[in-house]
Every structure is written in structure tokens, then in C-alpha cells.
Amino acid sequence: MFKNVFGSGFLVRTSHVILTWVITLILFLHDTELRKQEETGQLFQPVLFVLLVLLSVLLYFAVSLMDPGFILSDDTDLQFMLGVTEEQQDMIPPATKSLRQRRCGHCLLQQPMRSKHCQTCQHCVRRYDHHCPWIENCVGERNHRWFVFYLAFQLLVLLWGLHIAWTGFTYVPIWHQWLRTNGVLTAVTMLLALLSLIVLLLLGSHLYLVSLNTTTWEFMSRHRISYLKHCGADENPFDRGTFQNLWGFFCIWGTVVWEHVYFKEGSDQV
């Protein structure tokens, strides 16, 4: 289920962890509300903040080391499992007639619908979304929801850290003395603001795509994907409505046979 901790992403993950705890330490060393509460014996918020930071790091490792849905072997009973009839096969346009039997040109394994080969990971991934350099792992069927959970949790920690940093600035009338006093905290605040904006945009875009039941890869490369070429610009054969899309993404666990959804929702459109 989990990848090797000391793989190619070791440097990225180590840098992430070091940066996280360095920023946390700076927030405690400066005259912020956390330090004031710690000095007065009010430990609830300081302890809670440290626990949230720790949990965010654990979520980061869980998402980055988790198997995103690698396809490691052929399924010899693929056609039987899919339950696709000959009549349904004939309904697919010629350009997509061999979708369910398509073999990857790199690993030579059969690719279920919505899967894609990742050049970085060197594996085909089920319901491929994208390869994320931040976690040095693919985002796919098995870890996509955890990736969204991580983004939401990380945004909460970053916004709280930004508020804490803001409370630590010391007033000094002379600007160069102010910069000397608050220089490190200013850098941390700017970094937290930048990271908060990035995570907010990532979270918003992923929630939007999830509500449509589409992936980043499908959204960006729609014109090159065989099973979407025949669809109109606003057509999505996997869209079952916003509520069902969100419910299926967050509440239904296990592998989804997307060929079933494709034929059920898209057979009338082909």
C-alpha cells in the first residue's frame, strides 16, 4: 500500500517536514499569542496547534507514500467483470472501440477506463488525476480523497499560523529597526500567505472538478482522450449530478468500474 520512504521523493518530503517545524518553532520563539499563552500557563491552544501541525505532517506522509492506484497486473476477466455486452461495444465510435482492451505502450498492461501511465512513477494509475511534485507521488483513485482532505487540513493550519504570525509583530517607530526586529517574522508571514493562497487555489480547483466527476488530466487534455473525444464541450459521461459526484467521491470506498458509469450515463449520447 505504501511506497518506499527513501525513494526519489525523500529530499522533497524531508524539506517539507523541516520547513514545517522550522516555521512552527519561529512562531513559538517570537512574541506571538502562542508564546504569551505558553508563558502564562494557558497551554490549550499551543498544544492544539502543535498537534494539528503534527497531524498535517502525518497526512502529508500518508498521501505521499500511499499507493494511488497502480495497475500492477492484467485482469484476465476484465470483460466479464465489466459486464459490457457486444451491443454496447458496437455503440462506441470507431475511434474508441478498443478502449477496454487498450494496452499501455510503456508497461504493456491493460488500462481500465480513466487510467493513465505516469512517466515519473513508471506505472499506470487508476482514475489518474495528476502527478504532484509537492508529494512526489501520483494522485489517483486510492489517494485522491486523502489528497483533498490533506489540502483542507493544511489550509486550516496555514491560516491559523498566519494569524499567529500576525500577532507577533512588535511596533518600532524607525523602519530599519522595525525590519531588524520583525524581519524573520515578516518572511514567515509572507511565506505562509503565499502557501495559503496556493493551497486555497488547489483545494478550490479539486473540489470543483470533483463536483463535476472529472479529473485534472481529463479537464486539461480532453481533446486527446479517446473516450471523451466524441463528447461535446460541456458533456461528461461520468457526471451524475453534483450531490452524487461528491457523495461518491467522499463516501464510497473501493474500485469503481467506470465502464459501467460510462455506458449507463453516456450510451444515449454516443
Residues in a beta bridge with 59: none
Cell, residue 188: 514567515
Residue type, 230: H
DSSP-assigned states of every residue in 102-113: -B-TTT--B--T
Catalytic residue among 118, 132, 138, 231: 132
Q: What separation in angstroms does the CA of 156 have from each of 153, 203, 246?
A: 5, 12, 21
Q: Do the beta carbons of residue 129 and residue 219 sit within 8 Å? A: no
Q: Do the beta carbons of residue 71 and residue 109 sit within 8 Å? A: yes
Q: Do the beta carbons of residue 219 and residue 208 sit within 8 Å? A: no
The CA distance from 12 to 131, in Å, is 14
Q: Known catalytic residue: 132? A: yes
The CA distance from 82 to 80, in Å, is 5
The CA distance from 246 to 156, in Å, is 21
The CA distance from 215 to 144, in Å, is 10
Which sequence positions are flagged as catalytic? 132
